[in-house]
Amino acid sequence: MITSDVRQKAHKGRLVLRQLATLTEEEKNKALMKVAEEISLRKEEILQANEQDRKGAIEEGVSQALLDRLTLTEKRLDEMAEGLRDLARLEDPIGEVLDTSTLANGLRIDKVRVPLGMIGMVYEARPNVTCDAAGTALKTGNAILLRGSASAIHSNLALTKVIQAALKETAVPSEAVQLVEDLKRSAVQEMITANGLIDVIIPRGGAGLISRVVKESTVPVIETGVGNCHIYVDQAAEPEMATNIVMNAKIDRPAVCNAVETILIHQEWANRYLVELCHLLSEQGVELRGCPETQKIFPQVKPAVESDWETEFLDKVLAVKIVDSLESALTHINRYGTHHSEAIVTDDSATAQLFLTGVDAAAVYHNASTRFTDGGQFGFGVEIGISTQKLHARGPMGLKEMTSYQYRMYGTGQTRG
Protein backbone atom coordinates (compact mmCIF):
# COMPACT_ATOMS: atom_id res chain seq x y z
CA MET A 1 0.00 0.00 0.00
CA ILE A 2 1.47 3.29 -1.10
CA THR A 3 -0.21 6.05 0.82
CA SER A 4 2.08 8.78 2.09
CA ASP A 5 3.23 11.80 0.14
CA VAL A 6 6.84 10.60 0.29
CA ARG A 7 6.18 7.04 -0.82
CA GLN A 8 3.74 8.06 -3.54
CA LYS A 9 6.19 10.48 -5.07
CA ALA A 10 9.19 8.19 -4.69
CA HIS A 11 7.18 5.49 -6.43
CA LYS A 12 6.15 7.82 -9.26
CA GLY A 13 9.76 8.88 -9.67
CA ARG A 14 10.94 5.27 -9.90
CA LEU A 15 8.52 4.60 -12.71
CA VAL A 16 10.37 7.06 -14.95
CA LEU A 17 13.92 5.98 -14.03
CA ARG A 18 14.32 3.79 -17.11
CA GLN A 19 13.15 6.61 -19.34
CA LEU A 20 15.52 9.07 -17.64
CA ALA A 21 18.49 6.72 -18.00
CA THR A 22 18.12 6.56 -21.77
CA LEU A 23 17.54 10.26 -22.54
CA THR A 24 19.98 11.73 -25.01
CA GLU A 25 22.33 14.53 -24.05
CA GLU A 26 20.39 16.87 -26.36
CA GLU A 27 17.05 16.04 -24.74
CA LYS A 28 18.45 16.74 -21.29
CA ASN A 29 20.10 19.99 -22.36
CA LYS A 30 16.93 21.22 -24.04
CA ALA A 31 15.03 20.53 -20.83
CA LEU A 32 17.58 22.48 -18.77
CA MET A 33 17.31 25.46 -21.13
CA LYS A 34 13.52 25.27 -21.01
CA VAL A 35 13.51 25.28 -17.19
CA ALA A 36 15.90 28.26 -17.17
CA GLU A 37 13.61 30.12 -19.56
CA GLU A 38 10.52 29.36 -17.50
CA ILE A 39 12.20 30.60 -14.30
CA SER A 40 13.12 33.85 -16.05
CA LEU A 41 9.57 34.26 -17.36
CA ARG A 42 7.87 33.55 -14.06
CA LYS A 43 10.09 35.50 -11.69
CA GLU A 44 7.18 37.53 -10.34
CA GLU A 45 5.28 34.45 -9.19
CA ILE A 46 8.36 32.93 -7.54
CA LEU A 47 9.25 36.17 -5.76
CA GLN A 48 5.69 36.52 -4.44
CA ALA A 49 5.87 33.03 -2.97
CA ASN A 50 9.26 33.86 -1.49
CA GLU A 51 7.82 36.98 0.08
CA GLN A 52 5.30 34.80 1.95
CA ASP A 53 8.16 32.70 3.34
CA ARG A 54 10.11 35.82 4.28
CA LYS A 55 7.13 37.29 6.14
CA GLY A 56 6.66 34.07 8.06
CA ALA A 57 10.34 33.95 8.94
CA ILE A 58 10.36 37.56 10.12
CA GLU A 59 7.30 36.91 12.28
CA GLU A 60 9.08 33.93 13.79
CA GLY A 61 12.04 36.20 14.49
CA VAL A 62 14.69 34.16 12.71
CA SER A 63 18.28 35.36 12.53
CA GLN A 64 19.42 37.75 9.81
CA ALA A 65 21.69 35.03 8.44
CA LEU A 66 18.80 32.62 7.99
CA LEU A 67 16.66 35.35 6.44
CA ASP A 68 19.46 36.06 3.96
CA ARG A 69 19.67 32.41 2.98
CA LEU A 70 15.90 32.28 2.51
CA THR A 71 15.63 35.41 0.38
CA LEU A 72 15.27 35.25 -3.38
CA THR A 73 15.78 38.35 -5.52
CA GLU A 74 15.57 38.98 -9.24
CA LYS A 75 19.34 38.77 -9.33
CA ARG A 76 19.37 35.42 -7.53
CA LEU A 77 16.75 34.04 -9.89
CA ASP A 78 18.84 35.20 -12.84
CA GLU A 79 21.81 33.40 -11.32
CA MET A 80 19.76 30.24 -10.82
CA ALA A 81 18.62 30.31 -14.47
CA GLU A 82 22.19 30.96 -15.58
CA GLY A 83 23.33 28.00 -13.46
CA LEU A 84 20.94 25.76 -15.40
CA ARG A 85 22.27 27.08 -18.70
CA ASP A 86 25.81 26.38 -17.46
CA LEU A 87 24.75 22.80 -16.71
CA ALA A 88 23.46 22.44 -20.26
CA ARG A 89 26.92 23.40 -21.51
CA LEU A 90 28.70 20.75 -19.40
CA GLU A 91 29.51 17.33 -20.80
CA ASP A 92 26.93 14.59 -20.14
CA PRO A 93 28.67 11.94 -18.02
CA ILE A 94 26.03 9.23 -18.63
CA GLY A 95 26.95 6.43 -21.00
CA GLU A 96 30.68 7.06 -20.73
CA VAL A 97 32.60 3.78 -21.08
CA LEU A 98 34.97 3.88 -18.10
CA ASP A 99 36.76 0.68 -18.96
CA THR A 100 36.48 -2.17 -21.41
CA SER A 101 38.07 -5.59 -21.63
CA THR A 102 37.49 -8.86 -23.44
CA LEU A 103 37.93 -12.27 -21.84
CA ALA A 104 39.85 -15.02 -23.65
CA ASN A 105 36.50 -16.58 -24.56
CA GLY A 106 35.42 -13.41 -26.37
CA LEU A 107 33.02 -12.06 -23.74
CA ARG A 108 33.34 -8.26 -23.75
CA ILE A 109 32.96 -6.37 -20.46
CA ASP A 110 32.13 -2.66 -20.65
CA LYS A 111 32.07 -0.61 -17.45
CA VAL A 112 29.52 2.10 -18.25
CA ARG A 113 28.55 5.20 -16.28
CA VAL A 114 24.84 5.17 -15.36
CA PRO A 115 22.59 7.37 -13.17
CA LEU A 116 22.31 6.67 -9.45
CA GLY A 117 18.53 6.42 -9.80
CA MET A 118 16.28 8.12 -7.27
CA ILE A 119 18.01 10.74 -5.15
CA GLY A 120 16.47 12.02 -1.94
CA MET A 121 17.66 15.52 -1.06
CA VAL A 122 16.96 16.84 2.44
CA TYR A 123 17.97 20.47 2.91
CA GLU A 124 17.43 23.64 4.87
CA ALA A 125 16.30 27.17 4.09
CA ARG A 126 18.01 28.02 0.78
CA PRO A 127 15.41 27.76 -2.01
CA ASN A 128 18.14 27.99 -4.66
CA VAL A 129 19.10 24.41 -3.69
CA THR A 130 15.73 23.33 -5.13
CA CYS A 131 16.75 24.59 -8.53
CA ASP A 132 20.45 23.60 -8.41
CA ALA A 133 19.69 20.07 -7.22
CA ALA A 134 16.91 19.59 -9.77
CA GLY A 135 19.19 20.77 -12.56
CA THR A 136 22.03 18.48 -11.54
CA ALA A 137 19.66 15.51 -11.28
CA LEU A 138 18.24 16.26 -14.75
CA LYS A 139 21.66 16.51 -16.34
CA THR A 140 22.71 13.16 -14.88
CA GLY A 141 19.52 11.23 -15.71
CA ASN A 142 18.53 10.87 -12.07
CA ALA A 143 15.12 11.46 -10.53
CA ILE A 144 15.08 13.63 -7.43
CA LEU A 145 12.75 13.92 -4.49
CA LEU A 146 13.27 17.22 -2.69
CA ARG A 147 12.45 17.95 0.94
CA GLY A 148 13.29 21.53 1.88
CA SER A 149 12.55 23.14 5.21
CA ALA A 150 9.10 24.36 6.22
CA SER A 151 10.35 27.96 6.25
CA ALA A 152 10.89 27.84 2.48
CA ILE A 153 7.82 25.83 1.50
CA HIS A 154 6.11 28.52 -0.59
CA SER A 155 9.27 29.28 -2.52
CA ASN A 156 9.98 25.59 -3.07
CA LEU A 157 6.42 24.89 -4.20
CA ALA A 158 6.55 27.76 -6.67
CA LEU A 159 9.94 26.68 -8.02
CA THR A 160 8.91 23.04 -8.39
CA LYS A 161 5.71 24.07 -10.14
CA VAL A 162 7.69 26.15 -12.61
CA ILE A 163 10.24 23.37 -13.18
CA GLN A 164 7.54 20.73 -13.74
CA ALA A 165 5.59 22.99 -16.09
CA ALA A 166 8.73 23.52 -18.14
CA LEU A 167 9.52 19.79 -18.23
CA LYS A 168 6.04 19.00 -19.55
CA GLU A 169 7.11 20.68 -22.79
CA THR A 170 10.24 18.53 -23.08
CA ALA A 171 11.27 14.88 -23.46
CA VAL A 172 12.02 14.70 -19.72
CA PRO A 173 9.13 13.36 -17.64
CA SER A 174 8.04 15.90 -15.04
CA GLU A 175 8.11 13.19 -12.34
CA ALA A 176 11.90 13.52 -12.50
CA VAL A 177 11.66 16.47 -10.09
CA GLN A 178 9.23 16.31 -7.19
CA LEU A 179 8.86 18.15 -3.90
CA VAL A 180 7.71 16.53 -0.66
CA GLU A 181 4.93 18.78 0.59
CA ASP A 182 4.46 16.98 3.89
CA LEU A 183 6.22 19.26 6.40
CA LYS A 184 6.08 16.87 9.33
CA ARG A 185 9.37 15.66 10.72
CA SER A 186 8.16 12.13 10.05
CA ALA A 187 8.29 12.79 6.30
CA VAL A 188 12.09 13.05 6.53
CA GLN A 189 12.11 9.84 8.53
CA GLU A 190 10.12 8.14 5.79
CA MET A 191 12.54 9.33 3.15
CA ILE A 192 15.67 8.15 4.90
CA THR A 193 14.22 4.70 5.51
CA ALA A 194 12.67 4.23 2.04
CA ASN A 195 15.08 1.46 1.00
CA GLY A 196 14.14 0.13 -2.40
CA LEU A 197 12.39 3.39 -3.33
CA ILE A 198 15.24 5.87 -2.83
CA ASP A 199 18.80 4.98 -3.84
CA VAL A 200 20.75 7.66 -2.01
CA ILE A 201 20.07 10.43 0.48
CA ILE A 202 22.02 13.68 0.29
CA PRO A 203 21.51 15.98 3.26
CA ARG A 204 22.49 19.63 2.96
CA GLY A 205 22.33 21.93 5.92
CA GLY A 206 23.63 22.43 9.43
CA ALA A 207 25.49 19.92 11.55
CA GLY A 208 22.29 18.89 13.35
CA LEU A 209 20.47 17.87 10.19
CA ILE A 210 23.49 16.06 8.76
CA SER A 211 24.16 14.09 11.92
CA ARG A 212 20.48 13.12 12.29
CA VAL A 213 20.35 11.84 8.71
CA VAL A 214 23.64 9.95 9.02
CA LYS A 215 22.48 8.28 12.24
CA GLU A 216 18.93 7.44 11.27
CA SER A 217 19.08 6.72 7.55
CA THR A 218 18.96 3.12 6.37
CA VAL A 219 19.25 4.32 2.75
CA PRO A 220 22.90 4.99 1.81
CA VAL A 221 23.85 8.60 2.59
CA ILE A 222 26.43 10.95 1.15
CA GLU A 223 27.49 13.01 4.13
CA THR A 224 28.24 16.60 3.21
CA GLY A 225 29.26 19.87 4.42
CA VAL A 226 30.43 20.39 7.96
CA GLY A 227 33.87 21.94 7.79
CA ASN A 228 35.81 22.39 11.00
CA CYS A 229 38.94 23.29 9.03
CA HIS A 230 42.43 23.89 10.39
CA ILE A 231 45.59 25.60 9.25
CA TYR A 232 48.85 24.43 10.79
CA VAL A 233 51.54 27.07 10.69
CA ASP A 234 54.82 25.18 10.95
CA GLN A 235 58.02 26.56 12.45
CA ALA A 236 59.37 26.75 8.88
CA ALA A 237 56.42 28.80 7.61
CA GLU A 238 57.25 31.97 5.72
CA PRO A 239 55.62 34.64 7.97
CA GLU A 240 54.00 36.74 5.25
CA MET A 241 52.63 33.70 3.41
CA ALA A 242 51.24 32.16 6.60
CA THR A 243 49.64 35.45 7.60
CA ASN A 244 48.02 35.95 4.20
CA ILE A 245 46.69 32.40 4.08
CA VAL A 246 45.20 32.54 7.58
CA MET A 247 43.64 35.96 6.94
CA ASN A 248 42.14 34.82 3.64
CA ALA A 249 40.80 31.54 4.99
CA LYS A 250 39.10 33.29 7.91
CA ILE A 251 37.93 36.58 6.44
CA ASP A 252 37.13 36.05 2.74
CA ARG A 253 33.78 34.34 3.54
CA PRO A 254 33.55 33.31 7.19
CA ALA A 255 30.12 31.65 6.76
CA VAL A 256 31.18 28.95 4.31
CA CYS A 257 32.35 25.43 5.09
CA ASN A 258 35.87 25.83 3.69
CA ALA A 259 36.67 28.78 5.97
CA VAL A 260 39.25 28.09 8.69
CA GLU A 261 37.98 27.66 12.27
CA THR A 262 41.12 26.80 14.24
CA ILE A 263 44.75 27.70 13.59
CA LEU A 264 47.49 25.57 15.08
CA ILE A 265 50.73 27.52 15.45
CA HIS A 266 54.14 26.01 16.09
CA GLN A 267 55.58 27.47 19.30
CA GLU A 268 58.68 28.88 17.59
CA TRP A 269 56.67 30.63 14.90
CA ALA A 270 54.24 31.88 17.53
CA ASN A 271 57.04 33.43 19.58
CA ARG A 272 58.13 35.54 16.62
CA TYR A 273 55.02 36.29 14.54
CA LEU A 274 51.80 35.44 16.35
CA VAL A 275 51.32 38.85 18.01
CA GLU A 276 51.21 40.56 14.66
CA LEU A 277 48.88 37.96 13.16
CA CYS A 278 46.51 38.34 16.12
CA HIS A 279 46.56 42.13 15.74
CA LEU A 280 45.71 41.89 12.04
CA LEU A 281 42.86 39.43 12.70
CA SER A 282 41.46 41.57 15.51
CA GLU A 283 41.58 44.66 13.29
CA GLN A 284 39.38 42.76 10.85
CA GLY A 285 36.85 42.11 13.58
CA VAL A 286 37.81 38.48 14.21
CA GLU A 287 37.18 37.29 17.75
CA LEU A 288 40.10 35.13 18.89
CA ARG A 289 39.82 32.29 21.38
CA GLY A 290 43.21 31.05 22.48
CA CYS A 291 44.80 28.21 24.41
CA PRO A 292 46.82 29.12 27.57
CA GLU A 293 50.07 29.46 25.55
CA THR A 294 48.33 31.83 23.15
CA GLN A 295 47.05 33.85 26.07
CA LYS A 296 50.64 34.31 27.25
CA ILE A 297 51.68 35.73 23.89
CA PHE A 298 48.56 37.74 23.15
CA PRO A 299 46.71 38.37 26.43
CA GLN A 300 43.78 40.07 24.66
CA VAL A 301 42.41 36.71 23.37
CA LYS A 302 39.42 35.10 25.03
CA PRO A 303 40.37 31.81 26.70
CA ALA A 304 39.36 28.90 24.47
CA VAL A 305 37.18 26.19 25.98
CA GLU A 306 36.90 22.56 24.83
CA SER A 307 33.86 23.25 22.67
CA ASP A 308 35.77 25.89 20.69
CA TRP A 309 37.96 23.17 19.19
CA GLU A 310 34.87 21.29 18.04
CA THR A 311 32.91 24.19 16.61
CA GLU A 312 32.37 25.22 13.01
CA PHE A 313 31.85 28.90 13.91
CA LEU A 314 30.80 29.98 10.40
CA ASP A 315 31.50 33.47 11.66
CA LYS A 316 34.36 35.85 12.41
CA VAL A 317 35.57 33.71 15.29
CA LEU A 318 38.87 31.83 15.28
CA ALA A 319 40.32 29.39 17.79
CA VAL A 320 44.09 29.57 18.23
CA LYS A 321 46.26 26.81 19.65
CA ILE A 322 50.01 26.68 20.03
CA VAL A 323 51.58 23.26 19.43
CA ASP A 324 55.10 21.96 19.89
CA SER A 325 55.31 19.72 16.84
CA LEU A 326 53.73 18.48 13.62
CA GLU A 327 52.71 15.41 15.60
CA SER A 328 50.65 17.50 18.05
CA ALA A 329 49.03 19.33 15.16
CA LEU A 330 48.08 16.07 13.43
CA THR A 331 46.71 14.61 16.64
CA HIS A 332 44.55 17.69 17.20
CA ILE A 333 43.25 17.73 13.62
CA ASN A 334 42.48 14.04 13.47
CA ARG A 335 40.61 14.39 16.77
CA TYR A 336 38.55 17.51 16.06
CA GLY A 337 38.55 17.78 12.27
CA THR A 338 35.51 16.92 10.17
CA HIS A 339 37.49 15.47 7.23
CA HIS A 340 36.83 18.51 5.06
CA SER A 341 39.87 20.74 4.34
CA GLU A 342 43.15 21.01 6.26
CA ALA A 343 46.23 23.06 5.44
CA ILE A 344 49.87 23.33 6.39
CA VAL A 345 52.06 26.36 5.76
CA THR A 346 55.75 25.47 5.68
CA ASP A 347 58.85 25.79 3.54
CA ASP A 348 59.92 22.29 4.59
CA SER A 349 58.63 19.88 1.96
CA ALA A 350 59.31 16.76 4.04
CA THR A 351 57.13 18.15 6.84
CA ALA A 352 54.48 19.08 4.28
CA GLN A 353 54.43 15.53 2.89
CA LEU A 354 54.02 14.06 6.37
CA PHE A 355 51.13 16.42 6.97
CA LEU A 356 49.40 15.68 3.66
CA THR A 357 49.57 11.91 4.09
CA GLY A 358 48.83 12.04 7.80
CA VAL A 359 45.63 14.06 7.70
CA ASP A 360 42.36 12.27 7.08
CA ALA A 361 40.46 14.87 5.04
CA ALA A 362 38.88 15.30 1.61
CA ALA A 363 41.28 18.10 0.70
CA VAL A 364 44.73 18.70 2.19
CA TYR A 365 46.74 21.80 1.34
CA HIS A 366 50.38 22.77 1.29
CA ASN A 367 50.88 26.56 1.27
CA ALA A 368 47.41 27.63 0.15
CA SER A 369 44.16 28.82 1.65
CA THR A 370 41.50 26.20 2.49
CA ARG A 371 39.02 28.34 0.52
CA PHE A 372 39.72 26.43 -2.71
CA THR A 373 37.68 23.34 -1.73
CA ASP A 374 34.81 24.16 -4.04
CA GLY A 375 33.32 22.53 -7.15
CA GLY A 376 33.69 25.75 -9.11
CA GLN A 377 37.40 26.03 -8.29
CA PHE A 378 37.89 22.34 -9.10
CA GLY A 379 36.46 22.95 -12.56
CA PHE A 380 33.36 20.80 -12.01
CA GLY A 381 31.09 23.58 -13.29
CA VAL A 382 28.56 22.74 -10.62
CA GLU A 383 28.63 21.59 -7.00
CA ILE A 384 25.95 19.58 -5.26
CA GLY A 385 27.79 19.59 -1.94
CA ILE A 386 31.14 18.69 -0.43
CA SER A 387 31.40 15.10 0.75
CA THR A 388 33.21 14.57 4.03
CA GLN A 389 32.93 10.78 3.97
CA LYS A 390 35.20 8.30 2.27
CA LEU A 391 32.78 6.08 0.37
CA HIS A 392 31.68 6.89 -3.18
CA ALA A 393 32.64 10.56 -3.40
CA ARG A 394 35.00 12.73 -1.42
CA GLY A 395 35.30 16.51 -1.51
CA PRO A 396 33.35 18.66 -3.98
CA MET A 397 30.69 16.65 -5.82
CA GLY A 398 29.98 17.53 -9.43
CA LEU A 399 28.13 15.64 -12.14
CA LYS A 400 30.30 12.52 -12.11
CA GLU A 401 29.78 12.13 -8.38
CA MET A 402 26.02 11.86 -9.05
CA THR A 403 26.50 8.69 -11.10
CA SER A 404 27.14 4.99 -10.59
CA TYR A 405 28.35 2.40 -13.09
CA GLN A 406 27.18 -0.90 -14.46
CA TYR A 407 29.03 -3.75 -16.15
CA ARG A 408 27.55 -4.54 -19.56
CA MET A 409 28.59 -7.94 -20.86
CA TYR A 410 28.37 -8.71 -24.56
CA GLY A 411 28.61 -12.37 -25.50
CA THR A 412 27.97 -14.89 -28.24
CA GLY A 413 26.74 -17.70 -26.04
CA GLN A 414 29.61 -17.92 -23.52
CA THR A 415 29.20 -20.31 -20.58
CA ARG A 416 31.56 -21.03 -17.72
CA GLY A 417 33.34 -24.03 -16.27
User: In the complex, which residues of this chain contact a copy of itself (CB under 8 A)?
Assistant: 17-18, 21-22, 101, 103, 107, 109, 116-117, 195, 199-200, 214-216, 218, 220-222, 238, 241, 244-245, 247-249, 252-253, 330, 356-358, 360-369, 371-373, 377-379, 389-392, 394-395, 404-417
CB 309 within 8 A of CB 332: yes
Query: What's the number of CA atoms in the CB half-sphere (13 Å) around residue 178?
Result: 27
Q: Between residues 106 and 303, which has the closer beta carbon with respect to a copy of itself?
A: 106
Residue 68 CB partners (closer than 8 Å, separation 6+): none
- Smallest gap from Cβ 39 to a copy of itself, in A, equals 28
Q: Which string of DSSP letters, residue by residue, matches 32-43?
A: HHHHHHHHHHTH
Alpha-helical segments (H) within 227-322: 239-251, 267-269, 275-283, 292-297, 306-310
Q: Which is nearer to a copy of itself, 124 or 199 (CB)?
A: 199
- In the complex, minimum distance from the CB of residue 114 to a copy of itself, in angstroms, rounded to a whole number: 8
Exposure string (b/e) for 243-258, b if CB count within 10 Å is 16 or more?
Answer: bebbbbbbbeebeebb
Task: Give min distance, CB of 106 to a copy of itself, in A.
Answer: 9
CB of 162 to a copy of itself, least distance (A): 30
Q: Are 400 and 115 in contact (CB under 8 A)?
A: no
Q: What is the DSSP letter of 272?
A: I
Nearer Cβ to a copy of itself, position 67 or 356?
Answer: 356
Nearer to a copy of itself, 90 or 183 (CB): 90
Q: 90 vs 356, which CB is nearer to a copy of itself?
A: 356
Residue placing its CB nearer to a copy of itself in the complex, 153 or 260? 260
Question: Residues 351, 354, 356, 359: what is their CA dihedral angle, to the nearest 10 degrees?
Answer: -120
DSSP E strands, 31-187? 97-102, 108-115, 118-123, 143-147, 177-179
CB of 348 to a copy of itself, least distance (A): 14
d(C-alpha 101, C-alpha 89), whole Å: 31
CB 395 within 8 Å of CB 362: yes
**Residue closest to 404 by CA, chosen among 52, 96, 184:** 96
CB of 318 to a copy of itself, least distance (A): 16
Query: Nearest-CA neighbor of 164 among 35, 50, 23, 48?
Result: 35
Residue with smaller CB distance to a copy of itself, 180 or 393 = 393
The nearest distance, CB 293 to a copy of itself, in angstroms, is: 25
CB of 404 to a copy of itself, least distance (A): 4
Residue with smaller CB distance to a copy of itself, 291 or 330: 330
